[in-house]
Structure 1
């Protein structure tokens, strides 16, 4: 295993920095001379990829033991800045200019040997996807031990002991035994903890965390954020946190630098930037963040009053119903029930939110509702009739449009599949309908022939919605449809789903681990844990007066935008025992 972090692939922003007006950026408060040299000093950083400028004149300082959050949408350049701190662009063809000093090392002028000492030794990086950062063939403990040996020349025995020590430090249970496990034997949260353990092995002065909680459910995310907070307090390690989630930043940092199109928009203490943002873009970013303590979006029309529904549909019509659903996987003694005795119903024009941690059974439930999985026991009824197999009337929007869209086929052909499956043979009508659907979800109808890689993440999700609409469904099951999107793109997709629901009278089943998003879109909410529904009721009732301890535990784990509230919730999480 190499001692240096792998060079990440970098996607340049779709808008060049020169096309965006440069805002006035307030400088952070001056640091007293007695504070000594900063841990990180960046001045006039510029990064170009060919003719595209990904970072344009970024400057900031990070003091020893402090925490700075780089916040912005996808394509804002924040990950490019983080990579520049460790010279990960070296050898990629990127042009880097400006001054970058980290832990006393002039990164741009450092030799390869000096960079090897910096990476992992003085500064370490935790990437977003631990599966792509960990070698699947080697035990986790061996990979951590190898990093430690490269930087310290320790013996194999000492390195193994250090690996167990740091795995235990980040909360891996039975660390000595689990150190012999391979990455696929760890859960997502445990893999992220293992990456943090690897980063901490050599006691670095700086930890760079690039979207470390994006793929994690709310309780595991809270555990990782609490861990980073504790490590900072106990070791004095500086933290540079890269995230598109403003709530995550509020939980974790002292200062925030907001980025857009490669430039700094606003920079200051977290309480000032989030409490009284000066720039319109920062206010726009904050306005797009869903709030778990706010009732369903003002102006949204639910089925309670019947307004906004298509045609003469009555709001009490049950369109989809599950009765006693159970789904087992495995055989014999190794079998387990992913979903166990779940019953629920969805009315026409209504949104049912299904929330829970990873492994709670919510995706398995969604696949049974659509007919992609046959239940071991129980039935699914559509408009009162028992359903078996896939029906055009019930469609699914998947979490990852990259894996659900064929990369070798144009998006137009993928959207056309349901039309052809229904027997439509007139190619002119097929193409015309696909263009209508593309435009209906906010895309250009002329993009029929484009391929998935030519679209952004939010655009690909719109393609997935268009494909679901092609079958003229009455119900759409959305499986984590916005979990990988930044807050503004997420808000756009959620708004699109709401608009389609109102115009077409669609029933939606919204499966997600993000409790704030679920509250904003749902009329009723079902909370799942270990395959069962532990709480079910009107959304505002479940959120404002949760009855089950597990629901309260989930709500306590949601990031807060107010740093003082975030600190109080962190203390409350420490007092709550697992439900």
Structure 2
């Protein structure tokens, strides 16, 4: 009997059929990845395996059997025993999955007690045990920490620990590495692989990142519009895809080992700068930013200097906590430096300058959910004293919406009515409303699928060429940064450890930290991924 057996699964939300006749099996100890763009139905399938659509108004058809439980027919009590007991789920956003008021260890212990009726002491001991198993240092002490005291990678490890508490037969991981830097991502993927080897559990991985799938699974099922496009061994599907859509999906994946194409590198801005292509528009000198005081003081950025020229893209890479975002916010003026200065076109800048704008990582949190997107885009226009003629403002916003590939009629819609990629386009339109010379992009594509990611990156490049913009591209995705950047700055612990032309840094890295980052990037070839995983294990054992 298969661990998971899905036959002709359909899931409908009102008139929308999110999953349409999907069938697949997963054997005990095996690993399967559901891969596809946003809206392909991947997460809807994962939720259906645990009966999470029950009571939501969704219509679920077909047959679903998980660990011997008929999910469609099982009573609520049987489903509760299945969830967390025989099958556990790790969600994309650990902050929304963990209670901010309770210690991590208490939350894991509670899950264990619900399923095993163990004593409080035994449950606490189990929580410490599984936190240690997933690599949380000093697990007894850290089990008393609350979620906000953990980094993003540690919170994801804590969720995996919670899932492992009852020794499930199946682990469902829904985008478990989204928004994590490459080294933490590699550690989590290695952890999942090791846990499979040691426990024999099955893994269903939901991801839009084809590289993550190559690192982690035996089989791949490619989804589009709720249907299966291609399904087979990971080596065959990723190495020799049979379907056009799969080839297109793989073609959209940025490659860390591929330099920018000659046409990309050769294209110049449409407007020639008055002082030549080397004109410096933004310059940072000796930037330092500290948070806190006394013994708790923390220096996030320490003595960083760099220049940004008109029409160029500078990529800034590094792990979480390296100071990338803090540096970007100082360049924009959202944070004042503790020391050093930022100069725009040769003049010391104080506060926020409309000429330097920012596109944020999470457009959901940067757009007011109670205001139409048109009104949010109009804010910079009104702030610059253009608020007297509402007709002209509305016309300009419509132009900007069309400029970023959206419909001008979307002015009165609200953020929740748009996809992630569309919301990011709205963020770009809002930045353009101020007529900037420099745009700082803070992880602008980290949560987007590869095709949407490619569309947003192409849009930024098109705008840069037409308007002569300088772009600062802050990201943890080294492959994307290589494809978009003229120069790359590598940061670690608040300092620049290496910088130079993108191809030089990537093809001939000098600093050991840069080499470590590049070695952690997922490989699309599963055989190369296996060799890299073995190398990381050997290094960790030394």
* 1:547 correspondence with 2:510: yes
TM-score with structure 2 setting the length? 0.97
Q: Which structure 2 residues correspond to residues 92-491 of structure 1 after superposition, within 5 A?
A: 92-302=56-266, 307-313=268-274, 314-424=276-386, 425-491=388-454
Provide the residue aligned with 1:494 in structure 2.
457
1:402-440 CA distances to partner (integer Å, 9 max, x unpaired)?
111112221111111222222222222212211111111
Cα gap change, 1:495 to 1:240, in 2 (>3 Å): same
The correspondence for 2:7, drawn from 31, 35, 43, is 43
Say whether the 8 Å CA contact 1:309–1:349 is kept in structure 2: no
Provide the residue aligned with 1:25 in structure 2.
none
Say whether the 8 Å CA contact 1:556–1:573 is kept in structure 2: no
Name the SS for the 2:263 alignment partner.
coil
List structure 1 segments (4+ residues) > 6 angstroms apart after TM superposition. none
Provide the residue aligned with 1:30 in structure 2.
none
Name the SS for the 1:546 alignment partner.
coil
Hey, what's the Cα distance between the residues in 2 that align with 1:504 and 1:574? 48
Unpaired runs of 5+ residues, structure 1, are 1-36
Provide the residue aligned with 1:27 in structure 2.
none
Say whether the 8 Å CA contact 1:553–1:576 is kept in structure 2: no
Say whether the 8 Å CA contact 2:100–2:147 is kept in structure 1: yes
Provide the residue aligned with 1:84 in structure 2.
48
Name the SS for the 2:6 alignment partner.
strand
Say whether the 8 Å CA contact 2:273–2:310 is kept in structure 1: no
Hey, what's the Cα distance between the residues in 2 that align with 1:203 and 1:448? 50
* 1:568 correspondence with 2:528: no
Hey, what's the Cα distance between the residues in 2 that align with 1:574 and 1:224? 13
The correspondence for 1:510, drawn from 473, 476, 481, is 473
Say whether the 8 Å CA contact 2:319–2:476 is kept in structure 1: yes
1:349-403 CA distances to partner (integer Å, 9 max, x unpaired)?
0000000111111111011111111111111111111111111111111111111
Say whether the 8 Å CA contact 1:468–1:476 is kept in structure 2: yes
Mean Cα deviation higher: 566-575 or 216-225:
566-575
Name the SS for the 1:268 alignment partner.
strand
* 1:526 correspondence with 2:497: no
1:460-507 CA distances to partner (integer Å, 9 max, x unpaired)?
111111111111111111111111111111100000000011111110
Hey, what's the Cα distance between the residues in 2 that align with 1:525 and 1:54? 40
Say whether the 8 Å CA contact 2:273–2:468 is kept in structure 1: no
Name the SS for the 1:396 alignment partner.
strand
Name the SS for the 1:374 alignment partner.
coil
TM-score with structure 1 setting the length? 0.91
Hey, what's the Cα distance between the residues in 2 that align with 1:142 and 1:434? 50
Q: CA deviation at 1:47?
A: 0.9
Hey, what's the Cα distance between the residues in 2 that align with 1:279 and 1:351? 35
Q: CA deviation at 1:226?
A: 0.4
Hey, what's the Cα distance between the residues in 1 that align with 2:481 and 2:16? 37
Cα gap change, 1:377 to 1:517, in 2 (>3 Å): same
Hey, what's the Cα distance between the residues in 2 that align with 1:280 and 1:513? 29
Q: CA deviation at 1:332?
A: 1.8
Say whether the 8 Å CA contact 1:325–1:377 is kept in structure 2: yes
The number of residue pairs the alignment matches comes to 539
Hey, what's the Cα distance between the residues in 1 that align with 2:74 and 2:451? 38
Q: CA deviation at 1:443?
A: 0.8
Say whether the 8 Å CA contact 2:4–2:67 is kept in structure 1: yes
Name the SS for the 2:528 alignment partner.
helix
Say whether the 8 Å CA contact 1:556–1:572 is kept in structure 2: no
Hey, what's the Cα distance between the residues in 2 that align with 1:343 and 1:467? 28
Name the SS for the 1:381 alignment partner.
strand
Hey, what's the Cα distance between the residues in 2 that align with 1:452 and 1:91? 26
What is the RMSD of the two structures over their aligned residues, measured on CA atoms? 1.3
1:213-272 CA distances to partner (integer Å, 9 max, x unpaired)?
112111111111000000011111100000111110110000000111111111001011
* 1:58 correspondence with 2:40: no
The correspondence for 1:74, drawn from 30, 34, 38, is 38
Say whether the 8 Å CA contact 2:312–2:469 is kept in structure 1: yes
Mean Cα deviation higher: 402-411 or 57-66:
402-411
Mean Cα deviation higher: 345-354 or 328-337:
328-337
Name the SS for the 1:278 alignment partner.
coil
Hey, what's the Cα distance between the residues in 2 that align with 1:576 and 1:326? 34
Name the SS for the 1:46 alignment partner.
strand
